[in-house]
Structure 1
Amino acid sequence: MSDRYEYVPHRLLRRRVRDIASGIEGELMAVINENVSDAGVERWMELAYIRGASGREFTTSIANVQPV
């Protein structure tokens, strides 16, 4: 199992977006291909880091992100 990650370019970086899973809006700060492995099975996922109005960042799958 690897602890590596990789930044992924995305057309919505630094733009206002909405997480369709939670309905929260914010600025897309980064998209990172992360190892989210559990129980010894290696699994990679592209996670979106979104900074909400409070200034706190949260993650969601990049598939859940849409422009506002």
Structure 2
Amino acid sequence: MSAERYEYVPHQLLRRRVRDIASGVEGELMAVINENVSDSAHWEHWVELAYIRDASGREFTTAAANVMAV
């Protein structure tokens, strides 16, 4: 397994108001990270996760493909 478990990904909507189309929740896109979510030492499973901060200040994640500008 790779020593790095994540890497930041540039995204055109960073620091802008977005909506998670899966949940309908809106907030500010704080980061997009390509993250190794594998629990195995034998294979890697990488996903692009978007970190969104909602109005209460709590951050949540969703698939980066689920993010759209508001």
Q: Which TM-score applies when normalising by structure 1? A: 0.91
Q: CA deviation at 1:4?
A: 1.8
Q: Give the alignment of 1:36-51 within 5 angstroms.
A: 36-39=37-40, 40-51=42-53
Partner AA of 1:63 in structure 2: A
% of aligned pairs identical?
Answer: 81
Q: Tell me, which stretches of 5 or more residues in structure 1 are unaligned?
A: none
Q: Tell me, which stretches of 5 or more residues in structure 2 are unaligned?
A: none
Paired residues, number:
68
> Are residues 1:4 and 2:5 paired?
yes
* Deviating 4+ runs (over 6 angstroms): none
Alpha-carbon distance between aligned partners in 2 of 1:37 and 1:20, rounded to the nearest angstrom:
25
Partner of 1:55: 57
